[in-house]
Amino acid sequence: DAKTTQPNSMESNEEEPVHLPCNHSTISGTDYIHWYRQLPSQGPEYVIHGLTSNVNNRMASLAIAEDRKSSTLILHRATLRDAAVYYCILRGLYNQGGKLIFGQGTELSVKP
């Protein structure tokens, strides 16, 4: 699976939007872009995924660049509960069983 690059940490103020970037310049045409997050002392949880088009769900939005070499996870109004490590992961079409290859992720802190 192709590698992703994310900033180590980001800060946000409560109730403001947050844009978490991810670079994946070696992405292949069949790689899906997934985001998981890990709250303190918990296992990771799924946030959102996409292939080419922008995606929205109740948790977040995913904006994918036209060339697919980067993407941005958007939290529209950060809450204190959104403080977590956010992982951007590429999952290949023929990935055995769909195992996840995590990087370092971005640690998001949210200030009240």
Partner 1 sequence: GAGVSQSPRYKVAKRGQDVALRCDPISGHVSLFWYQQALGQGPEFLTYFQNEAQLDKSGLPSDRFFAERPEGSVSTLKIQRTQQEDSAVYLCASSLGIRVGGHYNEQFFGPGTRLTVL
**Residues making contact with partner 1 (CB under 8 A):** 30, 32, 34, 41-46, 49, 51, 85, 87, 91, 93, 95-105
Distance CA 34, CA 61 (A): 12
Distance CA 75, CA 85 (A): 13
Least separation, in Å, of the C-beta of 62 and partner 1? Answer: 14
For residue 48, count CB atoms less than 10 angstroms from its CB and return exposed for 0-12, middle for 13-18, buried for 19 or more: buried
| Identity of the residue, 14 or 59, whose beta carbon is nearer to partner 1 in the bound complex | 59
| Identity of the residue, 14 or 103, whose beta carbon is nearer to partner 1 in the bound complex | 103
Least separation, in Å, of the C-beta of 80 and partner 1? Answer: 20
SS3 97: helix
| Identity of the residue, 10 or 100, whose beta carbon is nearer to partner 1 in the bound complex | 100
